[in-house]
Amino acid sequence: MDERTLRGKTAVAGIGETTYYKHGKSPDSEFKLALMAILNACADAGIDPREIDGFSSYSNDRNEPPRLAAALGCKELRFSNMQWGGGGGGGAAAAANAAAAIATGMADCVVVYRSLAQGQFARFGRSAPVKTISGEGALSIPYGAMTPAQRYSMKAMRFIHDHGIKQEALRAIALASYQHAQKNPRAVMYGRPLDEEKYDNSRWISEPFHLYDCCQENDGAAAMILVSAERARDLRQKPAYLLGAAAGGPYRAAATAGNTPDFGSSHFKTVAPHLYAMAKVAPKDIDVVQSYENFTGGVLMSLVEHGLFEAEEANEVLTLPNLVAGSGKLPLNTSGGNLAECYMHGLELHTEAVRQLRGASCNQVKDADVALVIAGPMVTPVSTAIYGSEAALG
Amino acid sequence: MTARPHYLPEGLPIPVAEPDGLSAPHWAGLRRNELSIQCCEKCSTWQWGPEWICHACHSFDVAWKPVRPEGRIYSWTRVWHPTHDALTNHGPYIVVVVELPHAGNVRVIGNLVGDVHQPVAIGTPVTGVFEHHNDADPAHSLLQWKVSGAAD
């Protein structure tokens, strides 16, 4: 029996973004932003948008594939997919689902997309103005644990307690994103640097998270085009092959009211081993890491649970020089990520990984052949992916 | 019933049972100063939050049992940034995840009453404080926590 794998079967052939805005500042509708990003990705790939026959998204996307296919005049729609649950945790799963459709002959050209215009819709960081609440929310919202920052801070707090993590480790993650964003003209925080003093003096949002430990909320859209590996080789861009992907969560991760058995976790402990097995890559082979920052504490746990270092090493490993492209052994979030480039639910982390493999990042890591992209941590399901260059295919 | 000041201001979403009534016994229990948690009649596994089935043995005979409201702080946060209109200008407040040793170490979420600036330590023993919102519509009750031995 053939090995069941996605390794090397598909590649990202094109990436695209719109202008990134502060939340509520987009002059365009959310659906129009999605269309613009998709057209940009097609232009980057050199593919006619009418050839798109599949759409893959996540996080309760409001922009449905049938409408997109009709708006773009796609010749046919064969794959209409969205990852269930997990919000921004589904980003890598959306890429994996697209790749699976292509690898199994269900579609030929699939776009992975995300669009957000929070001026038109509710913000994620505000509580819904409802009079009553039932279900899972009733067990936490009346107690003021309403938003992701308030709920996930307690997961990070437990991990930090168990492993003696210092605030400086979280700070380094924030500083790295902001430092990278200063060289990225796409970044919303371009020209707005962060230093240790500014971080230390920033207000608490929900302990242990300061303001700068929390992601932005933004308007904009991003998209990337996946095709078969063979097709990608004939297109204009250097292919970024999907080496592996995995999604899911550990035992009863979705138990409510803080009852996830392994509570102080990013939820990657069971997922990352599947990723590495499929990609045939070990943590030491990874050249550059993009790790979804809903909150810096989630990045901390994600990196540990991906085996990049032990929890007990975190205070030594997580320093600014070590996380910056050029000087660092663990270049992290080289576009500025959710904290400082744009909160595009982490899809901007995938487009940045592709840029690294093309040698086209604003913060290029020398000879980057293997790029890890970790989607939103602490939710369920989470997901994670590894992309590689032609050299990494072996 | 002694009237207590409410830890958080009125105006936050009020907990109610789902249309299918799954969690109704929990909310009804809090009204009469009782913490009711699910426990399987067949295999005695405790379970929280509520579900229609026992996750351990798949029995649908999941009972509600009263639990002594005593526990330990499993994790916590002090919230500073108000994200709801009712909390604007209210100031910080403490949220705790409390582990319940009398219910198989399942956990519940509540607030830690007392000084909002008090140091909080994981592992600290805490005791439940029933907080009744009799004038709210609908009237309801919450379960808050205080450090064991601390004054009310």
Each residue's pLDDT tens digit, A156-190: 999 999 999 999 999 999 999 999 999 999 999 99
Contact list, A158 vs chain B (CB under 8 Å): 74-75, 97, 122
A257 vs B contacts (CB less than 8 Å):
48-49, 107-109
Which of A140, A143, A205 is opposite residue B80, by nearest beta carbon? A205
Is the pLDDT at B3 greater than 80, yes or no? no
Chain center to CA of A45? 21
Phi then psi dihedrals of residue A3, to 5 deg: -65, 135
User: Cβ B77–A139 below 8 Å, yes or no?
Assistant: no
Minimal Cβ distance to B14: which of A131, A144, A147: A131
CATH topology of domain A10-121+215-389: Peroxisomal Thiolase; Chain A, domain 1 (3.40.47)
Q: What is the pLDDT of residue A1?
A: 56
Pairing relation of β-strands B70-79 and B62-67? unpaired
Question: Measuring CA to CA, how many Å separate A342 from each of A36, A115, A190, A301, B79?
Answer: 16, 12, 10, 21, 25
Q: Where are the domains of chain A?
A: 10-121+215-389
Q: How many CB pairs under 8 A join A and B?
A: 142
Contact call for A130 and B13, based on CB within 8 A: yes
With CB atoms and an 8 Å threshold, state whether B110 touches A143.
yes
Q: Round to whole Å and give the CA distance between B97 and B119.
A: 15
Measure in Å the smallest separation between the Cα of A149 and chain B Cα atoms: 9
Measure A291 CA to nearest chain B CA, in Å.
23
pLDDT classification of B2: cutoffs 50, 70, 90: very low
DSSP state of A21: E
Mean pLDDT of B108-137: 97
CA-based nearest residue to B75, from B30, B33, B120, B29: B120
3-state secondary structure A313-347: HHHHHCCHHHHCCCCCCCCECCCCHHHHHCCCCCH
Question: A158, B122: Cβ pair inside 8 Å?
Answer: yes
Interface probe for A, chosen from B90, B109, B126 (most Cβ of A below 10 Å), is B109
The residue from A58, A212, A343, A387 that is catalytic is A343
**Helices (H) then strands (E): counts for chain B:** 1, 9
Q: How far is CA A52 from the centre of its chain?
A: 23
Looking at the complex, does the CB of residue B75 fall below 8 Å from at least one CB of chain A?
yes
Interface mutation vs chain B, best among A132, A136, A143, most B CBs within 10 Å:
A143
- Helix residue spans in A164-223 (DSSP H): 167-181, 196-201
Check if A113 is active-site: no
Distance of CA A130 to the CA centre of its chain: 30
Q: For residues B118 and B76, what is the distance between their CA atoms, to the nearest angstrom?
A: 12
pLDDT digits (tens, 9 = 90+) for B80-102: 999 999 999 999 999 999 999 99
Q: Which chain A residues are closer than 8 Å to B79 by Cβ? A: 144-145, 150, 205-206
Mean pLDDT, chain A, whole residue set: 97
Decide if pLDDT at B1 tops 80.
Answer: no
Residues in chain B: 152
Tell me if residue A251 is catalytic. Answer: no
Of A144, A154, A258, the CB nearest to B87: A144
| B142 chain-A contacts, CB cut-off 8 A | 142-143
Residue with tokens 């605030």: A167
Q: Do B84 and A146 touch (CB under 8 A)?
A: yes
- For residue B75, give the H/E element and its range: strand B70-79
How far apart are alpha carbons B40 and A247 in whole angstroms? 31
The predicted structure's pLDDT at residue A326? 95
Q: What is the mean pLDDT of each successive set of 10 residues along chain A, which is 394 residues long?
A: 90 98 95 98 98 96 97 98 95 98 98 91 81 96 96 98 98 98 98 98 98 96 98 98 98 97 98 98 98 98 98 98 97 98 97 98 98 98 98 94
CA distance to partner chain B, nearest, from residue A253 (Å): 12
- Write out chain A residues lying below 8 Å of B15, CB-based: 132-134, 138-139, 141-142
pLDDT tens sequence across B7-37: 999 999 999 999 999 999 999 999 999 999 9
pLDDT band at B152 (very low <50, low <70, confident <90, very high): low
